[in-house]
Structure formats: C-alpha cells, structure tokens
Amino acid sequence: MKALVPVKRVIDYNVKPRVKADQTGVDLANVKMSMNPFDEISVEEAVRLKEKGVLSEIVAVSVGPTQAQETLRTALAMGADRAILVDAQGQDLEPLAVAKVLKALVAEESPELVIIGKQSIDGDNNAVGQMLAALLDWPQATFASEVEIAGGKAKVTREVDGGLQTIEVDLPAVITVDLRLNEPRYASLPNIMKAKKKPLDVKELASLGADVSPRLKVLKVTEPPKRAGGIKVDTAADLVLKLKNEAGVL
Amino acid sequence: MAVLVIADHDNAALKDSTHKTVTAAQAFGGDIDVLVAGQNARAAAEAAAKIAGVRKVLLAESAELGQGLAEAFDALVTPLMANYDAVFTPATAQGKNLSPRIAARLDVAQVSDVIEVVDASTFVRPIYAGNALETVQSADAKKVVTVRPTAFKPAAEGGSAAIESLAAPAAPAKARFVEQKLVKSARPELAGAKIVVSGGRALGSAEEFQRVIEPLADKLGAAVGASRAAVDAGYAPNDYQVGQTGKVVAPELYVAVGISGAIQHLAGMKDSKVIVAINKDPEAPIFQVADYGLVADYKTAVPELLSALG
C-alpha cells in the first residue's frame, strides 16, 4: 500500500514571527525554516506504518519554493522512499489551491492513503486535508491521535470537542494528524546521508493543470494588540484582594 | 443576502459559540438561518429559535449527523448553499472538521478562524499562532467562514424563529462511527467558562494536577485547562489543552499555575480579560502577559490562595 505524505516548509516553531513594517506579511528573510511540526508527525506515522508492514511505499510531497527540497530531504531521512516537489515559483498558494495540486498528484500516484498534518503553523488554516478529501470524494479522519490500518480500512481515534471519538473509514482516505499521535524521530546521520541518494522529482506547477488562482487578497498583516504590562503581587492574600477590588473579577 | 450558521450543540443544549457565531453573521449582514444538525436535537433547535435576529431554524436529524461525521454534514449543507451567500461555523474541533470540506465542494477558499468581520467580503484572522493578524478580502461569490467564538459577544435571546425540519440525505457509507469517550465533568465547559484555572508541566504528574488544580477550580467555579506540555506528559486529557492547536479561551479570569508561557500557550489565552500567573521562575514568559504575577512555588501558593478565597 502506498501513502502520500504532504509536507510544508514553514518558519521554525521556536522562532518568534515578526510582522514587516510595511504590513505586507511576516518577515521570513534570514529566518530559520523547518518542516511544519504537524507534518513531522504525519511522516513519522507513515514510517511506523511501513515498519509494521502496512505500507510498502511512502511518497513525500511538497508544494512550495525550491528550498522545500530541504524539507523533503528531511522526510526522506526520516524514512520516506521518494519525494516530489511541486515548485510553486514563489507563489504562496492558498489551502484550496494546495488541495487541488495534491488531487492531481493523487491521480498520478494512486496512493490508498494521504496522511497530512492538521494545520500548518504559519497560515493556521486547518483546511488542506479536509479539502483534499472533499475534492477526491474520499472519507476523512481528522485530528488523529491513534491510527490502525487493516483490511482496507483505517480505524482512527480523533481529538474532538469534549474528548475522543473513534471512527472507521474505508480506504482510500485522508487522515490529518494531531499532536499526540506520536513523537517524531530524529533522522540519524547515516539516514541523512542515504536520503541524499533517494529520488526527488521536481515538477512544474503548471504541468499539473490545477486551478491555483488566488481567491483571497491579503490587504494587510498587522501586529496583534499588546497587553499592557501587569504587576507582581507578594502574597496569595494580596492577589485575592486585588482580584476582588481592583480587577473586579471575583 | 442570507447567511447559514451551523450550530454547535450536543443535541440537548445549544452551545454559547452558536450565539457568538450569529453575532459574527450579523456583522456580515442579511438574513440569518441557523442549522441544527444532529439526532434528537429538537431541544437545541428550540434554543436556537430563541436567539434574537434569527429568521428560521433548520433542523436535520440522522444518526450520522448526531455522530458528527463530516461526510454527513457535507451531504446536507453543500446543496443547501444554493440558497445562501455565506456559511458561518464556529471554529470548534467539529467546525474545523466539517467546514473546509464544504468549502472545497463549493470551490471556495475558506476564511478560517475569523476574529473580526469588517464587511461582507473582508475579514481579520490570526496567523502564526496569533503573532500576526491578517486582513483578507475574499473574491469568492459565496463565503465559507469559521468564526473564533471568543472574539465575538453572544447574540441576545428574545427571538421566536420558526423551526423547519429538513430531511437528512442518505448516510455516507465510507466513514462510520465506532465509539466516543467524552470527559465527564460537572465543571463549566472550558471554551465558554467565565473563569479558567490551568496547570502546566511544573505539576509533574496527573495525580498532582488533580490534587492542586481541581480544588482551586472548584473553589472559583472555574473550568480546568492545561498547557500543551502538561497534556503531552499525560497529566491532563487532550480536551483540556489551551493554545494555538488546542482550545482558544478568553474568560474574565485566567489563572495559570506552573505554566511557563510558551508562544503556543499564550496564543490560546492572551485575550482573557484578567490573567493571573503563579510560577516560581520570575523570568517565565507568562509574566509578560499576566496582569497579576505571583512568583512562588505552587505548592505553597495554591493552598494560600484557597484559604485567602475563604
């Protein structure tokens, strides 16, 4: 069974994003970039499924800039078998456009499973997996914290409002992963070396024939309002007095 | 113009996030209909009919809708959208599950997690875990929007909309419900609570989390939350997580106990009216957003706080 694992190159999660002075976006020049943390979890899950013998091939894909090849090499070093970069030539594609590109890749690769992070930590849209499932008319299992695959079905435990829900979906399906599904491995040095020899195809965005026209125009990007600095209190009793008399919340 | 609001409810009761999403829809403009999709959900539909400004309530019931399967919502809502210019859904886990699926069906770019409706095509939403706010203008003919409930005031009660029953389309066969394990609690729900007490990794164990956080929450009539670190370590259930990737809360009072204040966590609580931080590390980033900081070990500070509360 083959799995397609989309990964995104994003600002490293330890870097505090800075809004550009001209309000056109967040400054990404000379900023450390990494694989979206949720996508690391989906790559890890795919590798574990391959280690269990459930998957036979893992294809990591990215729709992004040329530098996303580094992100794909990371996925290869973690255990993906080959990689495809769809070079977006500087365009920052919206989730709907990414889902359409992925749909075109699914048509070429015919995977039985797409396993993808539930959201990227830059756009925070939480949409691509669900949109891809809709475009393919596949079932979706979002926010997975446990995945079992057997007999052409995936049994997925999901993080939902109020607790956990388990659903079963027929394959092919899209699974989006949540934080507690697994703890991603660090790629070992020998695996990083091996990853350099694994195949990485680069495709032109136009060659896939997907409609990637933007629907949303970003008018401005601004800093959120800052909270005014607070005060330190010395004792718990003092705290309670201030909450009652000053803040009026007790 | 007409907007469809997809209600957040547990069949028996309507959640506050529905009222807040109606407020967001009012800023968009036009007639507002509320869809209550579930099973044995008439009570929730009756509550939705009482929201002021709602034109009518649509009630659709089936086992699959009651189980919250996205495919069932897709089959129900997508054809309904012929009658609407926009669909607004609260950005809860369920809303995030179903809304993008409907957006893709309609070939619309969803506007996610909106915190302000500027006009019928312009919206403000947080990006980069709330470290930046993006104002976007949608060129799509129909708008698909998820709404961050904490950013809007609840719509008032006082309406008397008619309830119209809809037939639920045939069940999708490719996804099936197996089971559900919900955390049972007599405390207020985290997302809508007036006071939230959250614990962090400093608590060190699930037992300690319960021993320290729960009595304080009970004393204050508060909901219980947790940092991602505490949830990852298994001290608290996933449903307690406050942060960028968990629940976003904005209570009157947020009490952070033993939470350092990672960006991830701050993104989920920094819009609280009053923030209290109890942490023994005076350099913890949580103090930068706290209105009242108490630099102390929670082991002594929380019992003192309990006795000061009387």
Strands B2-6 and B111-114: unpaired
Considering only CB atoms, B132 lies closest to which of A96, A143, A222, namely A222
The one-letter amino acid at A144: A
Residue of A161, A166, A220, A239 best to disrupt the B interface, most CBs of B under 10 A: A161
List CB contacts of A25: < 8 A, sequence separation 6 or more: A19, A218, A221
Neighbours of B161 (CB within 10 A): 20
**Mean pLDDT value across chain B:** 95
Q: What is the mean pLDDT of residues A12-27?
A: 93
Chain B: give the shortest CA distance to residue A194, in Å.
32
Cβ pair B104:A131 closer than 8 A: yes
pLDDT in tens, A44-83: 999 999 999 999 999 999 999 999 999 999 999 999 999 9
Neighbours of B250 (CB within 10 A): 18
Strands B253-257 and B195-199: parallel
- pLDDT band at residue B263 using 50, 70 and 90 as cut-offs: confident
Q: Token pair of A185, please?
A: 């491995």
Q: What is the pTM of this model?
A: 0.94
Whether the per-residue pLDDT at B171 is higher than 80: the answer is no
Fill in the DSSP letter of residue A246: I
Q: Which residues of A touch B276 (CB under 8 A)?
A: 239, 243
- What secondary structure, in 3-state letters, does B237-289 show? CHHHEECCCCECCCCCEEEEECCCCCHHHHHHHCCCCEEEEEECCCCCCHHHH
Q: What is the mean pLDDT of residues B52-60?
A: 98
Q: What is the mean pLDDT of residues B218-229?
A: 96
Q: Which residues of B touch A19 (CB under 8 A)?
A: 131-132
Write down the pLDDT at residue B191. Answer: 84
Higher per-residue pLDDT: A228 or A166 = A166
DSSP sequence for A114-158 = EEEES--TTT----HHHHHHHHHT--EEEEEEEEEEETTEEEEEE
Per-window interface: A 204-233 vs B, CB < 8 A: 214-224, 227, 229-233
The three-point CA angle A120-A221-A37 to 5° equals 15
Strands A216-222 and B132-138: antiparallel
Q: Which residues of A touch B307 (CB under 8 A)?
A: 236
Cβ atoms of residues B242 and B268 within 8 Å: yes
Q: Token pair of B217, please?
A: 């929450």
Cβ pair B176:A19 closer than 8 A: no
Considering only CB atoms, A167 lies closest to which of B101, B176, B191, namely B176
The SS3 assignment for B122 reads: strand
Q: Token pair of B100, please?
A: 């993008």
Write down the pLDDT at residue B173. Answer: 85
Instruction: Compute the distance between CA of residue A164 and CA of residue A178 in angstroms, rounded to an integer.
Output: 12
Cβ pair B291:A134 closer than 8 A: no
pLDDT in tens, B271-293: 899 999 999 999 999 999 999 99
Cβ atoms of residues A192 and B207 within 8 Å: no
Whether the per-residue pLDDT at B189 is higher than 90: the answer is no
Cβ pair A178:B245 closer than 8 A: yes
- pLDDT band at residue B186 using 50, 70 and 90 as cut-offs: confident
Q: What is the mean pLDDT of residues B54-63?
A: 97
Write down the pLDDT at residue B225. Answer: 97
Model ipTM over 0.90: yes
Q: Which residues of A touch B105 (CB under 8 A)?
A: 134
Helix (H) or strand (E) holding A97: helix A95-109
Cβ pair B136:A219 closer than 8 A: yes
Short-list A86, A88, A102, CA closest to A202: A86
Cβ pair B231:A239 closer than 8 A: no
Cβ pair B93:A160 closer than 8 A: yes
pLDDT in tens, B119-161: 999 999 999 988 999 999 999 999 999 999 999 999 999 999 9
- pLDDT band at residue A85 using 50, 70 and 90 as cut-offs: very high
Cβ pair A126:B305 closer than 8 A: no
Q: Token pair of B268, please?
A: 């989920």
Residue of A130, A138, A159, A231 best to disrupt the B interface, most CBs of B under 10 A: A130
Q: Which residues of A touch B295 (CB under 8 A)?
A: 232
**Residue A123 forms contact with B (CB below 8 Å):** yes
Whether the per-residue pLDDT at A229 is higher than 80: the answer is no
Cβ pair A243:B276 closer than 8 A: yes
User: In chain A, which residue's Cα lies nearest the Cα of B188?
Assistant: A162
Whether the per-residue pLDDT at A116 is higher than 90: the answer is yes
pLDDT in tens, A119-143: 999 999 999 999 999 999 999 999 9
Instruction: Compute the distance between CA of residue B235 and CA of residue B229 in angstroms, rounded to an integer.
Output: 9
Cβ pair A222:B135 closer than 8 A: yes
User: In chain A, which residue's Cα lies nearest the Cα of B289?
Assistant: A227
Instruction: Compute the distance between CA of residue B123 and CA of residue B135 in angstroms, rounded to an integer.
Output: 6
**Residue A33 forms contact with B (CB below 8 Å):** no
Whether the per-residue pLDDT at A13 is higher than 90: the answer is no
Cβ pair A127:B110 closer than 8 A: yes
Whether the per-residue pLDDT at B52 is higher than 80: the answer is yes
Considering only CB atoms, B134 lies closest to which of A132, A221, A242, namely A221
Cβ atoms of residues B26 and B51 within 8 Å: no
Q: Token pair of B22, please?
A: 């109606």
